Chain A
Amino acid sequence: MGQPQDPRGNLVRPYAVTRGRTEPRRDIPIEAVLVASQAGLQEARFAGHDKYRIAVLCEAKAQSLAELSALTRLPLGVARVLVADMVADGLLSLHSAAPKTGFSERMNLLERVLSGLRKL
C-alpha cells in the first residue's frame, strides 16, 4: 500500500493514524514479541487498516514491536500506540514484557542465548 503525500506535510501524518494520541496505553519494549490468534485476526478486520495490517503480520509469525514498525513503515512511537491498544483490546498477546530481574532467571536466559548462538 503506497503512502500518499499528505498536503499538510508528513510531520503531522504519522499520528493521524492514532488520532493524535502520542502516549501508548502501556509501555512496550522495542523487542517485546506480539502474536495474533486466528480469532484476534478476524476481530482486527474491524479495527482499521493499520491495526489489521499488524494483526496479519502477527498471525503469520511472532513479531517484535520493532519489526511491526519496520514492516508497516510506521514510526516506532505510532506503532507502539497501536500495538498497546490492540493488546488492551485482546487482538494481540504480548510476550516477554516483564523484565528478567532475578539472578537465576537472568542466568537461565543468558545460558539459552549462549547455546543458541553456538548452534548458529
Chain B
Amino acid sequence: MDFASSERAGAQPKEITSAKIVVAGGFGVGKTTLVGAVSEIEPLTTEAVMTSAGQGVDDASKVPGKGTTTVAMDFGRITMADDLILYLFGTPGQTRFWFMWDELIRGAVGAAVLVDTRRIADAFAPLDYFENRHLPYLVALNCFDGAPRYEPDEVREALAIPPHVPLVMCDARHRDSVKQVLVAVVEHAMATLISEQGGYPAPVG
C-alpha cells in the first residue's frame, strides 16, 4: 500500500470497498440483460479455464489437446462513490460448473435467482444450489412479453420456494425494475443479518 509515492497531487488515497451481488439462473433466462440494464459499463465477460475433471479452476497445466473447457461469466459495474463499487456477476449458464458458482458467491452480499416462467423447471437446479448455501437470496420472476403470467403463489408452490425467501416480479430489460430487484436483495440481506444477530440463525445446509 505505497500510496506515499503517488505523484498525483490532491489524489487522496482511500481504501476502496467493492461489493458484489450474484445473478443466478438457467441458460438464456436474461441474466446478462438484467446486469446490462443497470451497469455503467457494457457487461464484460471473464473466462475461467478448467479441466474436464471438474476441479482445479484454470488448472489447464500441460494437458495437451483436450480435457479443458472454458467457463464464461458476464458481469457489470456500478460505481456508487469514489470508495464504493458494486459488481453484478451472472453465473455460468451450465449448472455443471458449480465450483465456479462457489467462487462467485464467496463474499457476496446476496443473490437473485432469475426465473423464466416459460421454462420454470430450469430454476430447480439454481434454487437447490442456494438452498444449501449460507447466502441470502431471493427469486425474481422475469416477465417476458407473451410469457405465461402466474400468480406469485403459484410459482412459489411450483418451485417449492421456502417461505423465508422473497419472491419479486421484474422485467430484466428495465433499469427501474432491476433496481428494485437489487434493492430487495440488499434489504433481504440486511433482514437476514439482523435475524442472525438476534439469535435466529438462517438455515444453513
Distance of B55 from chain A, by nearest CB (Å): 13
Contacts known (A107-B193, A109-B19); A37 close to B59, Cβ less than 8 A: no
Residues of chain A contacted by B17 (CB below 8 angstroms):
95-96, 109, 112
Q: Are A62 and B85 in contact (CB under 8 A)?
A: yes
Taking a contact as CB atoms closer than 8 A, the residue among B16, B186, B193 that contacts A33 in the complex is: B16
CA distance A29 to B16 in the complex (A): 14
Closest chain A residue to B194, Cβ basis: A107
Of all A-B residue pairs in the complex, the 9 with the closest CB atoms, nearest first, are A77-B58, A116-B80, A70-B44, A38-B7, A37-B6, A95-B16, A39-B5, A69-B46, A31-B20
Taking a contact as CB atoms closer than 8 A, the residue among B16, B20, B45, B59 that contacts A22 in the complex is: B59
Residues of chain A contacted by B16 (CB below 8 angstroms):
33, 35, 62, 95-96
Q: Does A47 contact B (CB under 8 A)?
A: no
CA distance A112 to B85 in the complex (A): 10
Contacts known (A93-B1, A113-B109); A12 close to B86, Cβ less than 8 A: no
Distance of A76 from chain B, by nearest CB (Å): 4
Q: Does A19 contact B (CB under 8 A)?
A: no
Q: Does B84 contact A (CB under 8 A)?
A: yes
Binding site for B on A (CB under 8 A): 9, 11-12, 14-15, 20, 22, 29-33, 35, 37-40, 62, 64, 66-67, 69-71, 75-80, 90, 93, 95-96, 99, 103, 106-107, 109-114, 116-120
CA distance A78 to B60 in the complex (A): 10
Q: Are B63 and A11 in contact (CB under 8 A)?
A: yes
Q: How many residues of B contact A (CB 8 A)?
A: 58
Q: Does B156 contact A (CB under 8 A)?
A: no
Taking a contact as CB atoms closer than 8 A, the residue among B64, B75, B81, B87 that contacts A9 in the complex is: B64
Given contacts A11-B64, A22-B60, A107-B193, 11 further A-B contacts (CB under 8 A): A12-B60, A12-B64, A14-B49, A20-B62, A37-B6, A37-B8, A64-B77, A67-B77, A70-B45, A93-B3, A110-B189
Closest chain A residue to B75, Cβ basis: A66
CA distance A14 to B62 in the complex (A): 11
Q: Are B190 and A107 in contact (CB under 8 A)?
A: yes
Closest chain A residue to B110, Cβ basis: A110
